Amino acid sequence: MKDKTKRIMNFRFDRYEDAESKLEKLASKGIFLEECGSFLWTFRKGVPKKVKYTVTYFSEGSVFNPDNSDNQQTYFDYAKAAGWNFVTQFNQMQIFCSEADNLIPFETDEKEKLNNIKRCMKKSFLPSMIVLILVFVLNLILQFNSFQSNPIDYMSDYSLLLSSSMMVVATIYQIYSLLTYFLWLKRSEKSIALGGDCEKNSNIVYKIVDIIFLVFLFGILGYLFFYLAYKTSGFGLILSIAQIPILMIVFWSSIKYFKRKKASATKNKVISFAILIIASFAYLGLLMTFIMRFGFGISNESNYRTVNWKLSETESYEYRLYSDEIPLTSEDLYGPIDYNYYSYERKSDNTFFIFKSAYRQDSPPAKDAPPQIEYEMLVPQFDFVYRLTKEYLLEIPEWRDNTTFELIDNKKFDTVEAYQRYYEDTPTGEYILFFEDRIILLRMEEPLNTNQISIIKEKLQI
């Protein structure tokens, strides 16, 4: 079908004039509206013509209706009698067109027109907007929770930071849309009270704000996908990107299917939403299985080999042994160790807030396993990040009352402040070292001796 084209229409219910003038402009170029949707509208190509369009709202309209109701048919009859031909509808929005010259306007009473729009918005736009805002706010609360439970992980994770900022932007945009609608409503009411028309809403400022928001939103989204593509395996990425389109297709197919089956609007609505919810869970399950099976957060940069490790007579597990470059190794600290199954792992996460490098040298569980070491270097980029990080690191949960952090001499590591972890009054190999602009965490198996400390200082360039 070459004579059909699809276009993206970013349509706002209270900017119907914009849609009307856009449709008229397209018709004069020979592109005629055939069907509208939530985002993608279908057009038919033909001979350029002068066509007038009107976008109105019919309060009883719904995508779930199997047929046009009698009332809607009456509405269409009135329109026809006045020379307006029905083109298409989406939810409550109805679009009519006409080629006649001296045409009766679709609405001849601005007050009735505004009341009608108000009624329609109360029924569909406002509830969905409020639900959306609630979902976004809930999401933000969850993200804030994850920030509180581990600020270091949160602030060093680009995908979390990006998705949070996307949520914030989307929430602000929704609230902004809601506010501009109420503003338009108030202005229109005032204007009508003085005998005028509904306020024209094709303000250039609104358009610019819209564009800025959309560019920002899609910018973050694009960056997020780019980041995920760079960081994670391809299939997992495709699965997570495809999630929303696939769920939407399932949802709309269900609506269309039951519409064809002539199911009642309520039945259609209930079943379609149930299918959507079930499909979301099924998809989430699929994604989870995939992640559990193949892993998700694997950095492509790391090189590793896998070993099949026998845990007992019957059980075995596949371990990844990395061979990354790390600045300080067990061999440095404890002398030559000849062991074939050491894993040298390095993970760097640098964000706007904090640079985090985590290093680990360990091996699969075994009776004769050699010493393991683990250390992290944190470089907070702001004072408040430093403070937050410090606070978090020194926090001991109430239930761990057998653990304490004891101050150690700053001269040992040339620190500003340094702590060693004690377990039931016995010192452990865990240290938190605070420097002027960075923080180092050491997790060794045993407390360090002077010689080892000087090796660490040399290797980690303290």
Partner 1 sequence: MAREKYQSLTEQMFYILICLRQENCGVDIMKKVEELTNGRVIIGPGTLYSLLDNFVKEKIILETKIENRKKNYVITKLGTEMLEKEYLRVTILKNDYEMLVKGGEQQ
Q: Which is nearer to partner 1, 79 or 442 (CB)?
A: 79
Q: Which is nearer to partner 1, 123 or 347 (CB)?
A: 123
Q: How many CB atoms lie within 10 A of CB 342?
A: 20
CB of 12 to partner 1, least distance (A): 19
Q: How many CB atoms lie within 10 A of CB 410?
A: 13
For residue 384, the number of C-alpha atoms closer than 13 Å in the C-beta half-sphere is 3
CB of 155 to partner 1, least distance (A): 54
Q: Which is nearer to partner 1, 75 or 125 (CB)?
A: 75
Which residues make up the interface to partner 1 (CB under 8 A)?
Answer: 56, 70, 73-75, 77-79, 81-82, 84, 104-109, 111-113, 115-116
CB of 178 to partner 1, least distance (A): 24
Q: Which is nearer to partner 1, 111 or 305 (CB)?
A: 111
Q: Which is nearer to partner 1, 85 or 351 (CB)?
A: 85
Q: Which is nearer to partner 1, 112 or 458 (CB)?
A: 112
Q: Which is nearer to partner 1, 193 or 292 (CB)?
A: 193
What is the edge-to-edge ordering of all strands in the sheet holding 85-90? 52-57, 93-98, 85-90
CB of 271 to partner 1, least distance (A): 30
Angle at 307 between CA 302 and CA 309, to 5 degrees: 135
Burial 188-218 (b: 16+ CB within 10 A, else e): bbebbeeeeebbebeeeebeeebeebeebee
Q: Which is nearer to partner 1, 55 or 354 (CB)?
A: 55
Radius of gyration of the chain (CA): 31
CB of 58 to partner 1, least distance (A): 8
CB of 87 to partner 1, least distance (A): 14
Q: Which is nearer to partner 1, 111 or 200 (CB)?
A: 111
In order, the DSSP letters of 88-156 are EEETTEEEEEE--SSPPPS---HHHHHHHHHHHIIIIIHHHHHHHHHHHHHHHHHHHHHHHH-HHHHHH
Distance CA 445, CA 374 (A): 9
| Contact in structure between 53 and 23 (CB atoms under 8 Å) | yes
CB of 105 to partner 1, least distance (A): 5
CB of 253 to partner 1, least distance (A): 32
CB of 20 to partner 1, least distance (A): 13
Distance CA 117, CA 112 (A): 9
CB of 184 to partner 1, least distance (A): 18
Q: Which is nearer to partner 1, 42 or 85 (CB)?
A: 85
Q: Which is nearer to partner 1, 56 or 177 (CB)?
A: 56
Structure token digits, residue 405: 């952090």
Rounded (10°) CA dihedral 231, 236, 237, 240 = -130
The alpha carbon of residue 386 and the mean position of all alpha carbons in its chain are separated, in whole angstroms, by: 27
Distance CA 49, CA 26 (A): 9
Tell me whether residue 245 is exposed, middle or buried, using C-beta atoms within 10 angstroms of its C-beta: 0 to 12, 13 to 18, 19 or more. exposed
Which helix (H) or strand (E) element contains residue 440? strand 439-443
Structure token digits, residue 226: 């780019």
CB of 256 to partner 1, least distance (A): 26
Helix axes 158-193, 204-231, angle to 10 degrees: 160
| Contact in structure between 329 and 456 (CB atoms under 8 Å) | no
**End-to-end CA, the chain:** 69
| Contact in structure between 361 and 326 (CB atoms under 8 Å) | yes
Q: Which is nearer to partner 1, 70 or 424 (CB)?
A: 70
CB of 149 to partner 1, least distance (A): 54
